[in-house]
Amino acid sequence: MRDYSYQLYSSRNFGPLPETLRMVAGLGYTQVEGYGGLYPDVETAAKLEAELAASGLKMPTGHFGFDMVSETPTLAIEIARILDVEAIIVPFLPPEARPSDWAAFGRKLAEAGKPIRDAGLAFGWHNHDFEFAPTASGELPLDQLLAGGDEIGLELDLGWVARAGHAPADWATKYADRLVAVHLKDVAPEGDCEDEGGWADLGHGTIDWAPVIAAVDASSARFRVMEHDNPSDDARFARRSIATAQAF
Q: Which residues contact 212 (CB under 8 A, 6 or more apart)?
A: 158, 168, 169, 172
Mean pLDDT score, 195-213: 97
- Give me the chain's average pLDDT, please: 97
Question: Over 70: is that where the pLDDT of 198 sits?
Answer: yes
- How sure is the predictor about 179, in pLDDT bands with cuts at 50, 70 and 90? very high
> Could you report the per-residue pLDDT of 112-126, keeping only the tens digit for each?
999 999 999 999 999
Percent of the chain with pLDDT strictly greater than 90: 98
Report the C-alpha gap between 209 and 186 in whole angstroms: 9
Mean pLDDT score, 155-162: 98
Mean pLDDT score, 82-98: 97
The per-residue pLDDT for 1 is 57
The per-residue pLDDT for 44 is 98
The per-residue pLDDT for 34 is 98
Report the C-alpha gap between 73 and 67 in whole angstroms: 9
> Could you report the per-residue pLDDT of 206-235, keeping only the tens digit for each?
999 999 999 999 999 999 999 999 999 999
Percent of the chain with pLDDT strictly greater than 70: 100
The per-residue pLDDT for 2 is 80
Report the C-alpha gap between 161 and 53 in whole angstroms: 34
The per-residue pLDDT for 215 is 98
> Could you report the per-residue pLDDT of 37-83, keeping only the tens digit for each?
999 999 999 999 999 999 999 999 999 999 999 999 999 999 999 99
> Could you report the per-residue pLDDT of 6-25, keeping only the tens digit for each?
999 999 999 899 999 999 99
Q: Of 218, 235, 237, 248, give the one whose Cα is nearest residue 23.
A: 235
The per-residue pLDDT for 15 is 87
Q: Which amino acid is at 101?
A: D
Under the phi-then-psi rule, with left for phi > 0, alpha for psi from -120 to 50, and beta for the rest, what region is 39?
A: beta
Q: Which residues contact 215 (CB under 8 A, 6 or more apart)?
A: 168, 169, 170, 172, 173, 176
By the 10 Å C-beta count (0-12 exposed, 13-18 middle, 19+ buried), 92 is classed as middle
